Structure 1
């Protein structure tokens, strides 16, 4: 599998780019957010992280190899997770990614289905499916996320409290901060049942 391509950017249109590597020009499919980023670099050397797939069906006997390009490997990893959602294929996923991936990851982590339905080809049911399958798995891609190594390692009861708060509609990053603060002030709170009420008291501005 070709995982990276470097060469001269010859052309960018609404769905693909043409990248020349030596005497060969490769057609690379792009998610929507990449189009704007690359359209000002025509004639320049570019480097894209890539993945390949075959378009068509085995039964039809006409499989066409396709290459997809991303600005970095993290975006490629996100796309792999995003297209793992039931009903979200490769082409639909490319069309849906019309805005930066960090903003989409934020919406998923925050359960913002209204924002997700604004993406091309994503209806209400698909937005619900995306949140149901991916929420809690995209923190490293979210724009407000800290690097993974900087995040605290939660103990099991803290993780349980976090999932309860997120399920009740709290934003994950804010809930994590409140859990840390509550545990600092109440080191004797060692169960999710004890921790969740303390978090809500902190959020309401009640000194605990």
Structure 2
């Protein structure tokens, strides 16, 4: 079993990343959308993922393909495994659905926030209700969880994000004013790497930022854009 993998991040594509193990092996690792967003600025840098090895059925079970899913920390991997215990949520669907981080989804479950869960890609109302019914009371340990990636960065003042004239926010977070500001450009590049159309993404980002909403980080902006996309 492969429990952890580290190396140089070579590329990010829709739903996966490629890591050079600095040896003879280069791996494609499936990642949740929010993890891809956090890794967006780290191409060419050394990264470490905590992994989950599983087999994916294809051709109605005639073929089993080994897959590797990656997470920024063991608790995020644990939450993912818990999330996939819900009826109708397999590994691939869970990876695509998780555009919000562990704590945000856990809070939605704890608060029985069907609307927030329904805003996740591929999660309809019935599935959102199933998630709450299955996981309510089981997510408390994840409510205050912050990813290792976030812990290593200084946090930005939420009051400054989205409505500031600064190009760089306090704590080093890029400004999020419009699609031309540094933080928004980074978010756009991440979503393009995830397979979205650049022109459409720019329109979505401008639409979100025109509302003068406050975002704690780039990942929150990306999550809001995906909410707009899902209608």
| Same fold per superposition (TM over 0.5) | yes
Q: Counterparts in 2 of 1:1-208, with a 5 A limit?
A: 1-21=1-21, 22-56=23-57, 60-143=61-144
| Equivalent pairs, count | 145
**Shift, 1:60, TM fit:** 3.9
Are 1:3 and 1:49, in contact at CA under 8 Å, matched by a contact in 2? yes
Alpha-carbon distance in structure 2 between the residues aligned to 1:59 and 1:104: 31
Gaps of 5+ in 2: 147-231
Could you tell me how far apart the structure 2 residues matched to 1:65 and 1:58 are? 14
Please give the per-residue CA displacement for 1:91-124, whole angstroms capped at 9, x wherever unaligned.
1101110011100000001100111000000011
- Is the Cα–Cα contact under 8 Å of residues 58 and 65 in structure 2 kept in the other structure? no
1:174-202 CA-to-partner distances (Å, cap 9, x unmatched) read: xxxxxxxxxxxxxxxxxxxxxxxxxxxxx
Per the normalisation by structure 2, the TM-score is 0.60
Report Cα offsets for 1:67-111 as digits up to 9, x if no partner. 000000000000000000011111110111001110000000110
User: Which protein has the larger Cα radius of gyration, Structure 1 or Structure 2?
Assistant: 1
| Structure 1 gap ranges (5+) | 146-208
Matched residues in 2 for 1:83 and 1:60: separation? 19
